[in-house]
Each structure stands twice: as structure tokens, then as C-alpha cells.
Structure 1
Amino acid sequence: MQKEGKVVPLAAAIDRGGRTPLPCLPVLLLQVRDKAALQLRQGLQDLFANADDTLFEMADKAFDRCDQHLYFEAMRDLRLKRKSIERGFLDIFYDTFARIGQVDLLAHLVEPGKLRSKAQLERAAAIDGMVARVLSRDGLALQQLGLRLQALLDRPLHEQHNPLGPAALCGYFLDAGCNLGVGLRVKLILLKLFERYVLRDIDVIYGEANQLLAAAGVLPELQPAPRRRAEDRRMSVRRGPANPGQEVGADAAGQAFFASVQTLLAPLRGQFAPRLQAVAAAQPISTADLLRLLSHLQHYVPATHEADDFELDQQLEQLLLRVSVRSGTRRRIAVADEDMINLVGLLFAFIHDDDNLPASLRALLARLHIPLLKVALLDRGLFSRASHPARRLLNEIAGAAIGWECGGEGLRDNLHLRVERIVQRLLDDFAEDVGLFAELLDDFLAFGQDERRRNELLEQRTRDAEEGRARALQARQQVQQLLNQRLRGRVLPLVVVQMLVQAWSQVLLLAWLKQGEASQAWRDAVQTLDLLLASITPPHEPQALLQQVPGLLKALRDGLASVALDSLATREFFLQLERLHLRACAAGASQPDGADQPLDEVLVGEDIVLAIAEEPACAPRHFADGQAALLRQVQRMRIGTWIEVRDEEGPLRCKLVARIDSSDRLVFANRTGMKVCEWSSASLAQALHRGEVRVLDDGLLFERALAAALDGLRL
């Protein structure tokens, strides 16, 4: 293991702990300590590996932006301090062993005088619950370990002095993470993760420690505590029925389906081992023997990057010839088994040619040909039950990976690696227990749920951003239209035009975006604009103007304050406005002092544009009448539809995440939820017509493959 910076490898840390002066500790105790340290280190690594996903899930479920920010900051802080927490935990653990029996390890957790705040009370309650659950499961093993440590040390060792007690371990974790800048909620989440990934397997530490001490003669008469392992429960499910052969063909619906298909499969018979089947005396091998042959071949399935020269029919023919030579009897495959081989072969031929799937995924799924064939031989229900675990696993993998981009070097992301591990696990471990598919399906669904939730959150952010952009564009166009209606073609004071275009337009935008065009705020802002223009246009009755000006000035000040216009600019505008009002009142009479200074005026001769207009990336073009069907297809396209875009850099797969009706934009994002392109309805229909884009079929893979196989047989 290479060193990264100042991170000390675990072996070095254990050696360092071993060099601590411990004149009173026997070698057996050091062995117990070191074995426990390895297990605890692994548990902490699992904790931190899953903390990101857990905190991301909490951020996803949070309704408040502040809560989301809290969880995202906690994720960042945890990544930065992960190594120091791991090292701190082990350092405290080693130090505690050095002083075993000398200090009360629970004192800082249970002293009532220190539990004053609500946060400390909640933390203590959480720890008490965790400790109680561990003691209820593994209390006997812990008690035996305490007795053996007491005998080994030859002095009393109270429960609170045991460095491997659950409360002591919680204390190490809290002390190691004391500098973590997170709040109580995040600390409680981390404690739950500590229980799940460290305390969950504490019985392994207790069991190994007891076994080591008992083998060395420390209280060997104590009866070992019963092992509690989640793997034991999973193995009992995985082992299934005692006689797997009883499950073969047990599904009546599956049997009926296969019987109805056998007539269609008859023309395909004779493709496997034809030289042997030509001999009338050839005896069929049993399904169980065929399964053993397939299990043998399963371990020789080549990797995806190797040459594809592995033909199942040729491999079976060679094995049958070898079996015939050894037994001295001509052997062949039974008719029903051969029909099943042909049917599954048709399914995988469809998968091999299905360009709706990325090429890298097709190469991976092709390696599952033999495992799926064995499932079909064992359980006809594969074809009649949509909930069959092998069938669902194939569908879930295909559905999750449809967004892979073909031909790229960056395919080996977490999803790709997970699918590779599933395929390899089936090739290595699958014999005749279909329960392995159920186990892998559960694991993949849990993994897919986390990734899907993460991607959906990013998609929602993309969708919100695009909808906000469209709404802002619509508001800007409305304000531009209003200003042009009021100002275009008129000669107005420059100071008024500048204020309306630069500042009051923002007041109008804010009112439209926040409350809408029909709101009172919008109507008030428009009315203020009209009053302002009317107030500076001579002639005016002085009395009428004096009645309007106070309300107008208040409305202007409130509006400009809402958009935080610079105070100096605001003061200068109102000084100029006062001169304009005085000029309007004079209306040709002798003007008061200071009102005769010329004011710059401007002719608004062109349309006012508040900002560069944002047009869709692909603006609508001329659309031929003959392409109306494609336009209707685009208009009916549902959110979540996958497409493939062909360009010079290679195919790009993306899915529809937002449809902006106000600006006729369809926004597409990649598998991670990041926006990659957008079209109008017409331009996307034209791209489909030219073949630059195609819609992918993301239906269930097994169902599509089976339907295609049956259609091909009926031709």
C-alpha cells in the first residue's frame, strides 16, 4: 500500500500501537486488540463510503433550502475530515487498551451534571438506544469476553472499563469527530450509520476474541454464544429447497407457455451436435447433466474485451463428443432441452442486435447467456412471471444503463462497474440456485434507487432552471412590449427614459415574476409609469399636478427601493423630476429661478430591448406538410423519453426532462441530469426526419426480446 501524504497505512498504525509501552499487557490481549482494530477500521470505511449517499438522500427529501445546504455542507466536511476521524478513532482505541481497567470509559457519556442542553440529551438517548440493541443481541458474547479479559489481566474489569463495549466504541467515534462542523441532526445520522456499519458486526469481534482467548486456555469451559450473522439468514434463503430438481417445471403457466412454443421451435432442431444426433441409437442426456455441462462452460465465457469466438453450440458439441467417448455411448441433448436452448438463443440474438442498448451493455449482457439458459431449464416460470428475479434483473440493468453513451472511454462509472460485478458474480457463483438472482436484484435495486434519486434531483434542478429562464424571458418580453407602447415615437426627457429603461423595468419585471400580469402589483407599477409620463407633459393645471405628485413620488420611491437603486442616482433623478414638474406647471409662463436650465431630451425612435433576446437553441424552421406525423410524435413525447443524437463526436444519449410550452422548447439531459441540448418541436421533428436523432425504445428488455423471438418464429 502506498502512502498518500501523511496518511499512515493500517499495518503501520497497528505496529505503532504495538510499540506503545505496555509492560502489563499480555501478548494475547495485543492480538485481540489488533484483530478488533482491523474489523473496526473496515466498519468505519463502510460507514464513510455510504455517508455521502445517506446525506444526499436527506438533502433530496429536505423541503427547506437551508436544510439542503446543511446536508451538502456536511457531505463536504465529512469528505475532508474522513481520514482524520478514522485515525483519531484508532488512536483513542489503542490508548484505551493501553490503560485498560484504569479509567471509566463511560464517564463522559453518562455524567448527569454535564447533560444540560437538549442536544446532549438527544445524543445520549440515541447512544443509550444503540447500546441497548447491541446488548440485547450480543450481550452474552460481551459478558464472556469481559470475564476472559478479567481472568487474563488477573484483576476486576467492570463493564464500563471494557474497551470493546458498545458505549465505549460510541465514545471513541464521538471524540474522534468532535471537530466535525455539523449540527445535531447530522451527528445523529452519523451515529445511526455507526450502528449500521460498525456495531452491526460487533458480534464478529466478540466471537473472534472469545475464540482466540478460549483456544489459549482462558476460561475454555464457557459455552460459546450463538452466532448472529445476517449472512447466515441470507444463506438459508440462498440454499433454497433441498432438492432443486423438484422446482424444475413447477410453474404450470410456464410449462404451458413452453409447450405452446415448442411447435414453433421444431424447425430449429438439429443445430446442436448434429453429427451425434444423426445416429438413431444416441441417448439423450438428462437435464441435470446438461446443467452440469453448462456450469462447466460458464467458467470459460470470455471477457467482453476478448475476441468473440465463444459459440455455445460448438462448445456443447465438443462436450457431448467428449462425454460420448468417455461413456462409450452416443449422447445427445433431449428435444425439450434443445428447444429451450434455441428459445434462449433467440432472446440473446435479439439483445445482441438491439441498437436501443449501448454497445458496451450488449457486450456485458451477452455474457449472461449461459446463466439465463440454466435458469430457463430450471424454472419455466421465467417466461410466464414478470416478477421472476432473473427476468427483472435483466430488465432493471437494461433500464438503468440505457443512458450510457456509446463508444466513450468514460464508461466505467459506478453503474458500469456494478453491472460488471453482477455479471462476473453470476458467472463465478451461479450453479442451480436461482435465489442468487434475487439477492443480486435486491442489491441492484438499492443501488439504482440511490443513483436514480441523485439523478432526479439534478434533473429537477435543470427543469427548474429552464422553467425559470423561460418565465424570465416571457416577463422581459412583456415589459419590453409595455415600454415600447408607452415610449416609442415620443420625445421625452433623457433622465426619465433612462430611469424607466434601467430601473423601472426591473420593478415591472419583479411584479410580473412574483405575482403575475393580473396582479395588483403589476397594475400599480404600470399606473405609476403612466402617471409619471403624464406628469411631465405640459400643460398642467398646477393645482391638479400638486394633488398627484405626492402619491406619484411615494410610489416611485417605494418601487425604486424594491430594486435597490443606488441612493445617489435616486436623489439625482428626483431633483431632475422636480424641475420637470415645475416646467410642466409653467407651461409657457415665466419660469421660476433654476427652471430655465435646458434639460436633455431624446426621441425614442427604435424598439427598446432590455437585454439580448434568448432564443431556443434550435429555432423553428420551415416545416413540410408531409412531416406532420413526426411533429405529432414529438408533441406526444413524454417526459423521460430517451433519444440518441448522432454527431461528429459520436452518439449522444439523452432524455427529455422539461417541456417549456411558453417558448416551445424541449430540454434534454444526460444520464446524470445535466442539460446537453434543446430543440423546438418543429426542429426536433426535422432532426428525426433527417436521421440526426432517433427515439430509443426503453421498454422492458426481456419482454421485447421474447416478443421479437415469437414474431420471428411465426414468420
Structure 2
Amino acid sequence: MAQDNRVVSIGKQGGADRHSLPSVLVRLRDASGRSMRDVLSDLFDRADDVLFNMADKAGTNHDQTAYFDAMRELRLRRKSMSLSILQYMGRAFNELGRFDPRPASDEISEVDQDSLSLVGHDEVEQQVAIDNLINKLRNRHRQAIRLLLTRFEHVCPEYRLAERQMPLSPEVICSGLAGACEDLDIDIRARLVVLKLFDRLLVTGLDQLYRDANDLLVRENILPEMKEAPTGQPRQSATRGAPPPRRGPAASEGPSSGEGGGAPVSSGSDYSFSELTSLLHQGEASGPGAAGGAGMTLGTEDLMRYLAALQTGESADNKRPLAQQVAQALPGQSSGLDEVQQVDADVINLVTMLFDFILEDRQLPDAIKALIGRLQIPVLKVALVDRSFFNRGGHPARRLLNELAMAGIGWNPRAEGQRDPLREKIESVVERLVNEFTDNVELFSELLEEFTHFMDLDRRRRELVEQRLRDAEEGRARQERARQQAEDALQSVREQYRLPDVLIRLLDGPLIKVLEFVALRDGEDSEAWDESVALANRVAWSVDPRPVESGTRDQLLREIPGIVDQLRNSLHGISWDPFECDALIRDLELAHVDTLQRLEVEGPVDDVEPDPVGDLTEVAPPTLEAQQVSSEATVPEASRESEDASAPKGTTVAPDAAADDAPEPEAPAIDAHWYDQARSLRVGSWVELEHEGQRLRCKLAAIIRATGKYIFVNRNGAKVSESGIDGVAESLANGDISMLDDGLIFDRALESVIGNLRQNRRD
């Protein structure tokens, strides 16, 4: 069969023995390459959309820059990155038995703890991100990976492969991804954004690849009857040391059992939890055993019973650290967790630190924090029965906590007697968990779905209100801008001519509306705008022609009918009152008669030699540009007298005296840093601002381009405040506005805990 030219064959790279690869594995290699190409294509497409949304919602300018840098690099290098990953997978096939993916955490784990500070912080961050992705892939696809490994060994019995050496293992895929990311021309912050993004998008993207790989081998009659992989601890390659033993009784316990003798848990299933506990116990002597030492130790099931009593009883004090609450609820006389297994004590301490962060986080209102604080015991029970809680981003308990916090970030207290649907909904979720949760995590899933549905309906309602507000504000801003443009244009006309009352009425009434209408419909750069401004100048010139020359009166007689017709059509175009229109035209015609009679009596002001081109050119109405240039020479006498009167005696009034005498606005003494923060605000950002003596939580609903106004609304979509960038920068500098982080609160808490533990290790 002819090969599709669009398919990158991952078999066309090095490896001296690639031609000795069994034909069934060659077919698997090529088919997996095609599947992986589709996965990567979809991943890069989704990454672009996700990064754009993240940049749009970024809380700081620095974050937004990192998102845009990552998006730009992925767009530029998606083909080269895809090719690099496919080639890396091809090497794993072609060098089967000899290929070992790039070490990830091994390099750091082999470094002595005393010299750990020599490893660059950036390297540690990248490797942790890659390790987390490997563990997530292994947790999700464990059965499929074991089946593939067993079938590979059946095809090539001469090789005894470690799981990491199997060509489709998470280590191979993630190491290829890490290598491809090394070529990205971005800083460490943007690189971590890319890795975390792949962490979000790749885990579910490989479902079909693993399914198709096993199906292909089944069709090739490779262990077709095997439905489950052989049990047992995964083998490690010769270059990799055995994983460190788990602490205390956890080595013999399953993650959801309090009794010994359970099936061994592989290092991958609770890798992140193990890493957290190793950080938690850094500096301690190895192998401390259970927390209770030689005394009686509570099993997990017994601990859960005490927690159930604490959960539904009245003795829980959510203001105290969780570990203290649990210790007080236990039957012994100890004030600590000495009666609890080491692994359970570690879970309690980790969950305590997570909730310490959540309950001290200023991003959440106190009332919402109090409600979330009541979930400490249910969440602890989840972590005790399901250790994937710590490293599974999509865990329903984690997602529910994040959803509750995100919903509460914009909450403001209601006046007494007013219903508060959001708080009532959060309270109902908390009450159900406190009263009904035992050890079935499905309750979290059920409540997550219910709460998400509630928030979706609420969000659609708020978006509709906010959109109406944005439309109204943008319309008002366009109206104001058009009005100002019309006034500026007509002010130029007023300054160039001596105008009778009828012209003043005409300019201030219908003509300003004509210009405003044209500015809104066509814009100030349009031909229609230029024609309307020219009409205003021609109407003014028709009652005060300048300069007055020998042919001016004849020129007026020729021009006036066209000026009047054009004026009448313009007023009809804006549906001006026809009776008032006729009255204005009649008054204008009387002004024209007065002007013509005056010219007939006075004659030309100066005897100017006519230009050879002809009288028409000489006496034509001046263009708008010419009128603006000559405005200084044609300032109305009344205006000059007013300026002279306003000047002190003995002084000379300069042409621009009025502007010079006006007090110049003081430049705000605001540091540029605050302007940068103001510009970094994006639509959808949450802030806390001072309003009428109250601190209110508001969302930036719109930045009106025409006026530069920032429009802030409450979570119901009602406008609370508006301000220009100067006002926002000043409020940020004064502390009247403070930005809120609406990121995933559990993830922020976990990052904070890990960061603190690592800092303690470095110290």
C-alpha cells in the first residue's frame, strides 16, 4: 500500500538494528506514529485556544506575557516539535532493548541531599512538571501499558524490558516531549506554562493510542486471550535504582484500606504523594516507622470512624488547624497524632497545610472561607481513602473545592432580608457533604455536577446582563466622542467668521446633529464627514464671505442656491423637524439678502488684481485647511475685546492668551508601575475596590476603547464604578483597588505547600 506522504514515519531514524525489528512491531511503530501525529495535532490546536483564553484572563502583565510567548512559540515550532517527538518514539522502537529514555527524576534522586542546592531551581521545576505528567499518564493508562509490555516481551522474548523502556511508555512520550520543549525560545516561566498545558491536554489524548496499539497486537494474534496484565511490581531497568521503600505500615497497605496484607501499590500510583511525604520528612532519620512507635496504632478504618463523629458532631472548631481538631477527637491522651499510622498522619498534615493556605487566602471573602472550612473533615476522609487526590487534577473533590472558591471570589454580602442564591447554594453543598459523606467519593461528583449546572445558569444570566451593559456603555462612549468631534469642527467655524444669530442657532442646533450623525455612521475619516464639515464652512462663508473682492457678490449669487439645497438635504437626512427646518432656511435666506445688500453698498475691501486663472478661483470659499491656518487673522472682534478685558492693565494679550492663562493640569504623581498594573487588568479580572465607604468585590466588565473607561460590575452584572486609566492607577496606588487571583484555589494551595517544603529543604 502506498504510504501517505502526509504521514511522518517514525521508523526513518537511526538505530543500527532497526531492520531486525519484528514485522509486527514495525507495523505497530508506523500505526502508533500516525496516531501520535493526530494526538499532537489536536493538542497544539487546543493549546492555542487555551493559551489565548489564559492570556485574556491573566491577572498580571507578567503572566499574560508568558502565555503569549508560549502561544507564539508553539505556533512557530509545532511542526518541528511534533517531528522531534515522533523521531524519539521511533528510536525507542528501533533500539528496542537498548533504548532508555532520558532520565527524569532519576538525575535528581541520585544527587546527595546535601548537594541538592547545586541543582538549578529551573531544572527542578521542569523535571517535577515532567514527572507529574508521567505519573498521571501511568495512573490513567496503567492496564493498557502493562498489556503492551507483556505483548512486547512475548514478541521479543530475548529482551526483558522495564516499563520505562517500552516504546509507548509514558517515560518515552514525556521524555520526547521534554526534549522538544528544550528548543523553545522562551524563559522558564513560559516553558512551565507549556509543560503544565500539556499536562492538562495530553493525559486524555492518549486513550485512543493505547487502545489502538493493543487492538493491533490482538489482531496480529499476540496474546489475544489476555484481558488483564500479570500482576506484580513493575521492573526497573538496570540503570535505575529500586524505588525507596514506603514509610511505616504504608508499605503493606492499599490506599483505601486500614488493614495490612493488601495488594502492593506500585510506586507510580502515589508518586506525588510519596514525593510530598519525603519533603515533609526531610532531615529526619530514615525509617521512622509508624507515628505511634511501639504503642497501639489506629488503623485507617478506625481513624475514619473517629473522623465521622467529628464531622457530624458539634466539637469541630474549623478555626483551629485540622491536625489539632483530629488529635483532640482521638481516644488517647496524646496531644498529637502519635496514635495514627505514619502514612495517615502524613495525609492529615498535608491536608492541614492545604486548608491553612485556603483559610488564610485573602482572595476569598470570610463568609465563603468559613463555609469551605467546614469541608476539612470530608476532604481529609477523601484523601485517606483515595491518595490520587493529591496528584489527580480532575479529582471531583479538588474540582468541587475549586468551583466553590471561584464562585465565591466575587461574592458580596447582601442587605439584611435579601435573598442570596449563591451563598444558599454553597451552604447546601456543604451541608450535604457534612451530613452525608462517609467514604463514597461519588457524592462529590454528584454535587460537583449539580453545582456546575447552577453556576452555568448563573453565568449565562450574568453574561447577558454584562453584555447589555457593555453595549450601552460603548454606545454612550461613541455618542460622546461623536459629539465632541462635531463640537470641535464647529468651534473652528465659529472662530473664523462673524456669524449672525441665525447661523449660531443653525450651528448649535441641526448642524451639530448632522455632524454627530455622520461621525457615528461613517467616522471622522470618511468622505461624508469631510463633506459635512465643508458644508458648515460654506454656510458660514455665505453670510460672512472673506476676503471681500470684486467677484465675491457674484460668487455668492452662484453658490447660495446649492448651499441651501445641500443644507436642506442634510437636515432631512437626520429627520429634523420640517417646520423648524423651513423657518431656519427662511432666516438664512434673509441673512443672505442682508449680506448681498451690504456687499452691493460697500463693494470690495481691497482692489486685488484678478488672477489669470479666473475670478471663480479667486473668490471661492476657503477650504477648511485654509480657514484653520488663517484663523488667527480672523478672530471675531468681540472675542478680541473679551480677551483684552480679561487681561490685567498694562499687559499685552498674546494670540493664545486664553489657553496660556488657563491653569495646566497637574501631572499625577503616580509611579509607572501602577499604570502597568492598570493596563494589565483584563476583562473578567476580579478586584476589590473602595466604593462609598465599602470594600466591594467587582469584575472588570469592559474597557471602552473610545473613552478608555474601565467599567466595573458586581457579580450580578450591575455597574458599580467607572474610571479612566489615571483613576484606576491612582486607586491601585492608594490601595482603593486591589487585584484578586481567581485561579484554582486547590492548585494554588498545593503549589504553596510544595514551595514551602522545598524552601525548608534548601534552608
Q: Is the 8 A contact 2:400 2:448 kept in 1?
A: yes
More off after superposition, 671-680 vs 344-353:
671-680
- 1:302–1:470 Cα change, 3 Å: farther
User: For 2:381, which of 374, 385, 388 is the aligned residue?
Assistant: 374
What's 1:457 paired with? 464
Q: 2:537 aligns with which of 506, 530, 533?
A: 530
Q: Is the 8 A contact 1:244 1:432 kept in 2?
A: no
Q: Gaps spanning 5+ residues in structure 2: where?
A: 1-254, 285-289, 603-635, 644-663
Q: Tell me by how many angstroms 1:296 deviates.
A: 2.1
CA shift digits 1:226-272 (9 cap, x unpaired): xxxxxxxxxxxxxxxxx975999979656111111113323899xxx
- What residue is the counterpart of 2:274 in the other structure? 259
Which amino acid in the other structure matches residue 288 of structure 1?
Answer: E
Match among 258, 282, 286 for residue 295 of structure 2: 282
Q: Which runs of 4+ in 1 moved over 4 A?
A: 243-254, 277-280, 307-315, 406-412, 538-543, 601-607
**1:400 lines up with 2:414 in the alignment:** no
Task: Identify the residue that residue 389 of structure 1 maps to in structure 2.
Answer: 396
Indicate the residue corresponding to 1:69 in structure 2. none
CA distance in 2, matches of 1:278, 1:403: 42
Counterpart secondary structure, 2:438: coil
Q: Quickly say closer, same or farther: Cα 1:506–1:602, change in 2 above 3 A.
A: farther
Deviation of the 1:527 alpha carbon:
2.0
Distance 1:251 1:604 in 2: 91
- Aligned counterpart in structure 1 of residue 367 of structure 2, from 331, 339, 360: 360
Tell me what 1:350 maps to: 357
Contact 2:709–2:722 (8 Å) recurs in 1: yes
* Matching residue within 576, 600, 603 for 2:587: 576
> What amino acid sits opposite 2:448 in the alignment?
L
Q: Distance in 2 between matches of 1:379 and 1:268?
A: 27
Q: 1:709 to 1:314 in 2, by over 3 A?
A: closer
Whole-angstrom CA distance in 2 between matches of 1:308 and 1:588: 93
Inter-partner Cα distance in structure 1 for 2:283 and 2:694: 38
1:695–1:568 CA distance, 2 compared to 1 (3 A):
same
**Which residue of structure 2 lines up, in the alignment, with residue 556 of structure 1?**
567
State the AA in 2 paired with 1:485. S
Q: Report the equivalent of 1:702.
A: 746
**CA drift at 1:489:** 5.7
Q: Which residue pairs with 1:471 in the alignment? A: 478
| TM-score between the two structures when normalised by the length of structure 2 | 0.52
- Kindly provide the amino acid, as one letter, of the partner of residue 570 in structure 1: C
Cα deviation for residue 310 of structure 1 reads 6.7
- CA shift in 2, pair 1:394/1:620, >3 Å: farther
TM-score, with structure 1 as normaliser: 0.56
* CA contact 1:644–1:651 (8 Å) conserved in 2: yes
1:554 and 1:690 map into 2 onto residues whose CA distance is 58
Give 1:654's aligned residue: 698
**Shift of residue 621, structure 1, vs aligned partner:** 6.3
Deviations 1:581-607 (A, max 9, x none): 22333344379xxxxxxxxx9957799
Spell out the pairing of 1:10-159 with structure 2 (5 A cutoff): none
1:448 equivalent to 2:455? Answer yes
Task: Name the SS for the 1:386 alignment partner.
Answer: coil
Q: Is this contact kept in 2: 1:631–1:685, CA < 8 A? A: yes
Structure 1 contact 494–602 (Cα < 8 Å) conserved: no
Change (3 A) 1:337 1:576: same
Distance across 2 between alignment mates of 1:290 and 1:249? 21
Establish whether residue 641 from structure 1 lines up as the match of residue 685 from structure 2.
yes
Distance 1:344 1:587, change over 3 A: same
Counterpart-to-counterpart distance in 1, 2:283 and 2:463: 46
Change in 2 beyond 3 A, CA 1:491/1:541: closer
The number of residues matched between the two structures is 437
> Is structure 2 residue 713 aligned with structure 1 residue 669?
yes
What is the alpha-carbon distance in structure 1 between the residues aligned to residue 263 and residue 315 of structure 2? Answer: 28
Per-residue CA deviations over 1:84-128 (Å, capped at 9, x if unaligned) read: xxxxxxxxxxxxxxxxxxxxxxxxxxxxxxxxxxxxxxxxxxxxx
Local SS of the residue matching 2:270? helix
- Tell me which amino acid in the other structure corresponds to 1:636: S
Contact 2:675/2:726 (8 A) holds in 1: yes
Root mean square deviation of aligned Cα? 3.5
Aligned to 1:294: 307
Q: Any idea what SS the aligned residue of 1:284 has?
A: coil
CA-to-partner distance for each residue in 1:540-583, whole Å, 9 max, x for gaps?
Answer: 65654344333322221122123333333222211122222223
User: What is the CA-CA distance between 1:339 and the residue it aligns to?
Assistant: 0.6
- Letter of the 1:692 counterpart: D
The answer to whether the Cα contact below 8 Å between 2:359 and 2:369 also exists between their aligned partners in 1 is yes
Task: For residue 516 of structure 1, report the CA deviation from its aligned partner.
Answer: 0.6
| CA apart distance, 1:416 | 0.8
After alignment, is 539-548 or 369-378 more displaced? 539-548
3-state secondary structure, aligned to 1:387:
coil
- Where do 1:182-221 residues align within 5 Å? none
Residue of 495, 504, 512 corresponding to 2:519:
512
The alpha carbon displacement at 1:381 in A equals 1.4
Using the TM superposition, give the Cα deviation of residue 409 of structure 1 relative to its aligned residue in structure 2, in angstroms: 4.6
Deviations 1:666-691 (Å, cap 9, x if unpaired)? 22111111111123323322322222
- Deviation (angstroms), 1:706: 1.0
Query: How far 1:461 sits from its partner (Å)?
Result: 1.9
Shift of residue 479 of structure 1?
A: 1.2
Q: Evaluate the alpha carbon distance shift between residue 709 and residue 635 of structure 1 in structure 2; reply closer, same or farther with a 3 A threshold.
A: same
Note if contact 1:492-1:602 (Cα within 8 Å) is conserved in structure 2.
no
Which residue number corresponds to residue 494 of structure 1?
501
Q: State the Cα deviation string for residues 187-224 of structure 1 (Å, max 9, x = none).
A: xxxxxxxxxxxxxxxxxxxxxxxxxxxxxxxxxxxxxx
In structure 2, what residue type is equivalent to 1:364?
L
Q: Could you say if the C-alpha distance between residues 419 and 620 of structure 1 is closer, same or farther in structure 2, counting changes exceeding 3 Å? A: farther
- Kept in 2: contact 1:406–1:651 (CA 8 A): no
